[in-house]
């Protein structure tokens, strides 16, 4: 999260805390408060909580989205390494067709994860101005879930690539000995 986003979330949170604190003082002095003041304080707390839930969901969603972005950057770095290793293995005369197949799967799953991640990011940006914030946040969370599922698939692809690289390197070691 950027500093502006953090400040914005904290500002919204502080507003809710101030509202609830004022209502709490009224409820603490129940013996001195009138029934109307008590009802007003209870309604203030309910409304404040209703406004706070979307703010919390939006903040958590943005944080999760940032973490998904970091994971994708690391996967891209691994993909670059795998491409270099694949090229070295091919130069040495190894058969890299299985490695190519897993690498294509990795690229496809990573592209899907990145597409859904960007859509989720757009939905969270849209949530600032949306009339139905809950609906937009739910859509963003759905995109995040699709992105996480694609990242899980990339993890399997990475495992397969590593296994294939190890398998390709074993015969080379025995030839050298």
pTM of the model: 0.72
Give tens-digit pLDDT for 47-80.
888 878 877 887 888 888 888 989 999 999 999 9
pLDDT digits (tens, 9 = 90+) for 71-103: 999 999 999 999 999 999 889 888 889 899 999
* Three-class secondary structure assignment of 66-124: HHHHHHHHHHHHHHHHHHHHHHHHHHCCCCCHHHHHHHHHHHHHHHHHHHHHHHHHHHH
Rg, Å, the chain Cα set: 26
**pLDDT tens column, 131-166:** 888 888 899 999 999 999 999 999 999 999 999 888
């Amino acid at each position: 999260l950027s500093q502006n986003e953090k400040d914005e979330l904290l500002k919204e949170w502080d507003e809710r805390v101030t509202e609830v604190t004022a209502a709490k003082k009224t409820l603490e002095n129940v013996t001195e408060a009138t029934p109307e003041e008590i009802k007003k304080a209870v309604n203030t707390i309910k409304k404040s909580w209703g406004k706070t839930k979307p703010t919390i969901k939006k903040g958590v969603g943005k944080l999760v989205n940032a973490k998904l972005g970091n994971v994708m950057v690391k996967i891209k770095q691994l993909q670059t390494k795998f491409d270099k290793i694949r090229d070295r293995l091919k130069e040495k005369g190894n058969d890299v067709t299985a490695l190519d197949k897993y690498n294509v799967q990795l690229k496809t799953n990573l592209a899907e994860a990145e597409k859904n991640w960007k859509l989720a990011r757009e939905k969270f940006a849209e949530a600032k101005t949306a009339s139905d914030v809950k609906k937009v946040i739910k859509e963003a969370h759905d995109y995040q879930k699709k992105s996480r599922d694609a990242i899980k698939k990339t993890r399997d692809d990475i495992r397969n690539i590593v296994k294939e690289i190890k398998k390709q390197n074993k015969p080379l070691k025995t030839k050298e000995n």
